Structure 1
């Protein structure tokens, strides 16, 4: 799908404030509301805009601890990845699962209410996941930049 400068401008403003009223978004992007609607529909149909989603501030829900866990799996079992990921999906505190090529095989993002809750999750839900050869925990201290803005 070909996108032009107008599409890029619309996407830039849409990404910055997806909840903005269509008229305000159209005004910021320099197009009419009708043009904005047609272009957004075309971008959705073309797969450029895949989804619209809610972004939840976990801290406001009482989750004060966020940890990124890097796993190297024991790959002597050909089903190690599939079994590990299936089990990780069952842990409710896991907010993200990513796979990699390289020394790290999988990264899990995990949230917890406090350090006691984190220890419980780590001991009883994380360390019991199958095929773990090595795990490294990185506790989030602060978020400097958090956004999905693209250079468009």
Structure 2
């Protein structure tokens, strides 16, 4: 679906604050509230806006450590892939997982309380998934730009 300038302004405003009242979004888009409301509904119906959720502060929830875990499977059979992906879906500390190109099969974003907790997640959970051959972890020292907003240009 092609987005026009008004749609982009609406989306930019909602990315700033999804709870922003329609009247305030309308100000950002330089439109009145009624067409903005219709456009938001259309963006939702078209799946451009997939939902609304709060952005939680992991540190306030006791989750101080971010890590990326690179995982290789021992074989790329359908059974291994399905088993791995199912186990990843069930792990609350895995907040994202991507199949990737290159030397590794998956890039898994893990959040943990501390290094010891990451070790438990890695050794007692991820490495024990049948079909996982090896795991490499990268600990995030500092987040320079959090992945919250999509480019709209």
Task: Determine if the TM-score, normalized by the shorter chain, exceeds 0.5.
Answer: yes
C-alpha distance in 2 between matches for 1:116 and 1:3: 46
In structure 1, stretches of 5+ residues that fail to align are: none
- Match of 2:38? 38
CA contact (8 A) 2:72 2:104 kept: yes
In the TM superposition, what whole-angstrom CA distance separates every residue of 1:25-54 from its partner, at most 9, and x where no partner exists?
111111111111001111111221122222
Given that 1:87 and 1:130 are in contact with CA atoms closer than 8 Å, whether structure 2 keeps it comes out as: no
Q: Deviations for 1:63-114, whole angstroms, at most 9, x for unmatched residues?
A: 1111110112112544211111112222222122221233321121112212
Matches within 5 A, 1:19-98: 19-75=19-75, 77-98=77-98
Provide the aligned C-alpha RMSD in A: 1.7
1:98 is paired with a residue whose SS is: strand
Instruction: State how far apart, in whole Å, the 2-side matches of 1:63 and 1:76 are.
Output: 32
Q: Which runs of 5+ in 2 are unaligned?
A: none
How many residues align? The count is: 152
8 Å CA contact 2:70–2:135 kept in 1: the answer is yes
Q: Is the 8 A contact 1:71 1:105 kept in 2?
A: yes
- TM-score of the aligned structures, taking structure 2 as reference length: 0.89
Residue 132 of structure 1 corresponds to 132
2:151 counterpart of 1:150: yes
Structure 2 residue 2 is matched with structure 1 residue 6: no
Q: Secondary structure at the match of 1:79?
A: helix
1:122 aligns with 2:122: yes
Provide the secondary structure at the position in 1 that maps to 2:86: helix
TM-score by length of 1: 0.89
User: Runs ≥4 in structure 1, deviation > 6 angstroms?
Assistant: none
Q: What is the alpha-carbon distance in structure 1 between the residues aligned to residue 92 and residue 48 of structure 2?
A: 30
